[in-house]
Structure 1
Amino acid sequence: MQRQGSTGGSAAINIRVAGGLLLVAHLAFVAWITLRPLDVPWVRPANLHPFASIRADLALGGPEAVRSIGKGLALLAPLGVLLPMAGGRLHVSPLASLARTVAAGTLISLGIELLQTGVPGQVPDIDAILLSTVGVALAHLLVVPAARYRLRRRVEHRRRAALPREEPAQGRTPTIPRVGIAP
């Protein structure tokens, strides 16, 4: 657990709590959307070939392709922000944060796709995992570094404001000239 100073402690806890609550709410929403049974007359076969459904969507062209691919990108994209927010770390390597967030997003997407194998009307799709992972990474890259920078500046500003002021210097320190050694 990262230590926060007296100026950033309550803010870090508030961010973690808000991030955790929003993360649980978003995951419940995603589970409701992706794991509810659908009453459909036919079901397409599972897609286990990477980029096959993306190519099929692009072949449709126009707004339908944009809607379908955008939906895949946007479904888990909030995890790119909510996972680091729930972690509450301000001082962390941007690359390590991105790697952890993308890995967690990929595993959550994989879990959803595996659970869909037992839900009537829902079909697993490898491209859904790919699109969700890209959406998580994009959201993380667009929001988290800038937000962490702003929060670090804010905490540093508050920390400096809480420090006692230094007294002004009294002037130059006197120096003693070197004295040569007599013979």
Structure 2
Amino acid sequence: MRTETGRATAVPTGRAAAVHHSLRTVGLLGLTLHLALVGWLMLRPLPVAWVYDANLTPLASLHSSSTGQLLGELLLPAPLGLLLPLAGGRLRAPWLPSFLRTTGASALLATAMEFLSSWAPGHVLNVDDILLGVVGVAATHLALVPAGRALLLHRATASGRAGARQASHRDGSGGPRTTGLHTDGPRPSGRTGAHPDGAGTGAAEPPPAWPPAPAPVAVAAYSESGYHHST
């Protein structure tokens, strides 16, 4: 692409044009910290006297769980709904493919963490924990990600338009630009007179006659009285 000043600039294409690297860095950092926290909470040993049997039936353990336990299972993996798209760094991704990718990745992570936690003392495998975690991730994604992407795109578009207006204003008010032997400034007309001391009088002078009048030439003439010289 060539800018208004005539310099060629490289335009990113493909995947590079759709990735916001600053957001991706923040997302990867937040995702790493969140997974470390979740891993520590789910894999640490719990000093309990006894535990329930493993539950492989969906929604079977909800009636025996307290409200605090249900909220904990919903909220603990919920930040993945924001951090996973943020780690991708894409601002122009359609909402439905982004939603499906996020929920699928969160389901895989929740399943892996649940299986690993079943080996830690005091933890049992419960399929309802996986389902509640995926619901929390999906709700977080739908509540924050589409609106956040729309806001960031609007701000980026407004900033780009403001920068373009400032650049065009600088180019328009920067004075005459020289191109080769011609300039964009006013050209002298040559129709105003000049005072002998160099100051212009502003009075218009008529154009010089063309062709110029011939200089007087001495002519020899004869008369009846003899030769005489005349001009």
| TM-score, normalised relative to structure 1 | 0.79
* Cα deviation digits, residues 43-93 of structure 1 (max 9, x gap): 211111100111223xxxxxxx32121111101000000000111100011
Once the two structures are TM-superposed, the CA of residue 119 in structure 1 deviates from its matched residue by 1.2
Unaligned 5+ segments in structure 2 are 1-14, 173-231
Give aligned-pair identity as a percent: 42
The residue type paired with residue 73 of structure 2 is G
The residue type paired with residue 75 of structure 2 is A
Partners in 2 of 1:93 and 1:68 — Cα distance? 34
Q: Greater helix percent: which structure?
A: 1
Correspondence 1:122-141 to 2 at 5 A: 122-141=123-142
Larger Rg: 2
The residue type paired with residue 54 of structure 2 is A
Partners in 2 of 1:15 and 1:105 — Cα distance? 20
Correspondence 1:1-183 to 2 at 5 A: 1-3=15-17, 12-57=20-65, 65-163=66-164, 164-165=167-168
Q: Greater strand percent: which structure?
A: 2
Once the two structures are TM-superposed, the CA of residue 35 in structure 1 deviates from its matched residue by 0.7
| Superposition misfits of 4+ residues, deviation over 3 angstroms | 164-167
The answer on whether the counterparts of 1:2 and 1:89 sit within 8 Å (CA) in structure 2 is no
Q: How many residues align?
A: 154
Please provide the CA RMSD for this pair. Answer: 1.7
Give the secondary structure class of the aligned counterpart of 1:55.
coil
Higher RCO, 1 or 2 (CA under 8 Å, sep at least 6)? 1
The residue type paired with residue 76 of structure 2 is L
| TM-score, normalised relative to structure 2 | 0.63
The residue type paired with residue 96 of structure 2 is L
The answer on whether the counterparts of 1:20 and 1:82 sit within 8 Å (CA) in structure 2 is yes
Unaligned 5+ segments in structure 1 are 58-64, 168-183
The residue type paired with residue 38 of structure 2 is V
